[in-house]
A and B are shown apart, each in its own frame.
Chain A
Amino acid sequence: DTAVSQTPKYLVTQMGNDKSIKCEQNLGHDTMYWYKQDSKKFLKIMFSYNNKELIINETVPNRFSPKSPDKAHLNLHINSLELGDSAVYFCASSLPYGSYNEQFFGPGTRLTVL
């Protein structure tokens, strides 16, 4: 069974377009995250949600908007895509915020902006 899944796996699009990436976890976790991994492999946290509530929003352009319809889903919508948005985006989940827990990552979505 897939623990954390993301769709799509690959996304190629033109500058200026709007796109969404979906994430679902079936682990029963309360906390979900979005990370951006650039070409140099650096893992940068973007957002964290606990029980559908935003608990952290790092310095991310407001073109990026996360949406959590329920505890098992955290989607990422990106408006007006730019070349610099090209990266691999990982969704992750963990046990409740407020404890030290393993992060379970999704398979990643490779976004290429042309």
Chain B
Amino acid sequence: GENVEQHPSTLSVQEGDSAVIKCTYSDSASNYFPWYKQELGKRPQLIIDIRSNVGEKKDQRIAVTLNKTAKHFSLHITETQPEDSAVYFCAAIGGGGSYIPTFGRGTSLIVHP
């Protein structure tokens, strides 16, 4: 089955800096890659996603890039703010004909004011 590795597990940045979270996946058939943000004590919520026919997608301060050849995708957050502090999960879907997401283990992002 699909295996998703996510790094780093913890990321600490100063307000205004950029943050990058990287994920790799194992099944080349996966073709949908969502990112979820989970604030402390809250539910995970989708913040951005990318499909395999696209190399990059941007939404204001967040962007996601995908390299299908290398089987990795990344989340980029620019001009970080304290409210960006949360756990971020990547996921890969479509491998092995399954439409169930395989999640990475999460990255705890801490933005210091």
Contact = CB atoms under 8 A, between A and B. Distances in A.
Interface in B1-60: 31-32, 34, 36, 38, 42-46, 49, 51
Contacts of A44: 103
B100 A42 contact: no
Nearest to B42: A107
B89 A100 contact: no
Nearest to B52: A100
A108 interface: yes
A1 interface: no
Nearest to B89: A43
Contact of B106 (A42, A90, A103): A42
Interface in B65-103: 87, 89, 93-94, 98-101, 103
Main secondary structure of the interface of A (DSSP, over half): loop
Contact of A90 (B34, B44, B94): B44
Interface string A90-114: 1000000111101101111000000
A45 interface: yes
Contacts of A99: 99
Given A97-B99, A99-B99, A100-B51, A105 B44 contact: yes
25 contacts: A33-B100, A41-B38, A41-B87, A41-B105, A41-B106, A42-B103, A42-B106, A43-B106, A44-B103, A45-B101, A56-B100, A90-B43, A97-B99, A100-B31, A100-B93, A100-B99, A102-B34, A102-B46, A102-B49, A103-B44, A103-B101, A105-B43, A105-B44, A105-B45, A108-B43
Interface of B: 31-32, 34, 36, 38, 42-46, 49, 51, 87, 89, 93-94, 98-101, 103, 105-106, 108
Interface of A: 33, 40-45, 48, 56, 90, 97-100, 102-103, 105-108
Closest 7 CB pairs of A and B: A100-B32, A105-B43, A43-B103, A102-B46, A41-B106, A105-B44, A42-B105
